[in-house]
Amino acid sequence: MGVVAGDAAGVHGAKTPTDGDFVSAGCGGGFTGGGTYYRLSRDGVLSVERRRSASSQPERTTLRRDAKELAARLLAHAEHDDFPRSWSPEVGGMTCSLVVLTGGQALDYRWPLGGSPPPLVEQIHAALVQAGREAEKHRPIARTNDREAASGSNAGNEAARRERD
């Protein structure tokens, strides 16, 4: 699949370009279809989305709200002229991805787990996954799943608070 460039519709949770700039990185697929993806918005909100399987509801957790410096650095790398705009790897069962939405332009990179994406893509992916894993070692701010978000339920946030206490 390689790089898919285009508008922001349908890219890792982006509904329209007005959702704001972000970078998302993670791996998933394989036998279960589950996966873990970290998302960092330009305004510094770092979150994680996990699916146990392709058919399960995603669980989203806000990890940090103060990662503006990291967001600025990663998005600056992605906006740089050296950032690859086209690339066509083979995709495997377990697939890793880096999605960048900046200025209404979406780039979606995918490669097989253990594969070799372009160096700058790999560096941004690794930095975001590492930041997400480090943040997960600390207490999450809020946790929701699609049903709670759709119903307006606050149960996920309350559960996360109880977990911290």
Determine how β-strand 22-29 pairs with β-strand 94-102. antiparallel
Mind giving me the DSSP string for 95-135? EEEEEEEETTEEEEEEEETT----HHHHHHHHHHHHHHHHH
Please, what is the Cα angle at 129 between 27 and 91, to 5 degrees?
25
pLDDT tens across the length of the chain (165 residues)? 344 444 444 444 443 333 588 999 999 988 888 999 999 999 999 999 999 998 999 899 999 999 999 998 998 888 877 777 666 666 678 889 999 988 778 888 888 888 888 899 999 999 999 999 999 988 666 666 544 443 343 444 444 433 433
The residues that bridge with 37 in the sheet, in sequence order, are 26, 49
Domains (ranges, CATH) in the chain? 2-164 (3.30.1560)
HSE toward the beta carbon, residue 26, CA cutoff 13 A? 19
Predicted confidence at residue 102, as pLDDT, reads 84
Does this model's pTM top 0.85? My answer is no
Predicted confidence at residue 13, as pLDDT, reads 45
Determine how β-strand 59-64 pairs with β-strand 142-145. antiparallel
In the chain, alpha helices (H)? 68-79, 119-136, 146-151, 155-164
